[in-house]
Amino acid sequence: MEKTAVVTGASRGIGAAAARALARMGCRVAVCCRERRGDAEAVAGEICAGGGTALPFCADVAVETEVRAMFREIESALGPTDILVNNAGFAQQKLFTDITAAEWDRMFDVHVKGAFYCCQAALPHMIRQKWGRIVNVSSMWGQVGASCEVHYSAAKAALIGLTKALAKEEGLSGVTVNCVAPGVIDTDMMAGFSSEDRRALMEETPLGRLGTPEDAAAVIAFLAGEAGGFVTGQVIAPNGGFVV
């Protein structure tokens, strides 16, 4: 599958696993990050060492000028974007009454406005060639909401709405737009959880374990590939049965 895939938030966790999975499919991969360039270089280096093609790129997806510049760099180095995985994001646990306006804005700027900027940068080529894949990474909390993560849940819910609407708009152009809503995935975002909290989350998950980045990446890769060509506007949730 000789396509160019752009993965944001790819220096670690789900993004890094998605970059590796897309490289195994034969894609040229842009491993994108905001500031963890060393980690992005390591992921790209690992892909290249395995015979794939990947390069690191840096931009704050919340800043339109940086996104536009990054996509120009990617096109020059790897070709125009055929597959876009909007994975850049962060979590914050905080009581709703303690969330500041700046924290609320930053949450939406990264998760929602970042996806908006990246989609706008990638879509013209996809529309012209009548083929494209966009996968937005939301969360199960975007489906059902999470206490002490209202701004995160709201931003992830907005991504689901963006996905459903854009899928309808771009269907006739041969572009699929889907959403992956992972459950509790064992990434750096879990670093602040105690062993007791982790055990409780595992017990609450019907499959009895935390998810891995590879669990989410497998779904992303399916939606990005030829096998996912008749799937669009959907929310697929690798969550171990936590949310049904």
Catalytic residues: 152
How crowded is residue 137: how many other Cβ atoms within 10 Å of its Cβ? 27
d(CA 150, CA 97): 10
| Residue corresponding to tokens 């970059």 | 19
Please check whether residue 180 is in contact with residue 223, taking contact to mean a CB–CB distance below 8 angstroms. Answer: yes
d(CA 57, CA 11): 10
- Provide the 8-state DSSP code for 190: G
Please check whether residue 175 is in contact with residue 134, taking contact to mean a CB–CB distance below 8 angstroms. Answer: yes
Please check whether residue 181 is in contact with residue 154, taking contact to mean a CB–CB distance below 8 angstroms. Answer: no
d(CA 84, CA 14): 14
Please check whether residue 108 is in contact with residue 140, taking contact to mean a CB–CB distance below 8 angstroms. Answer: no
d(CA 5, CA 28): 6
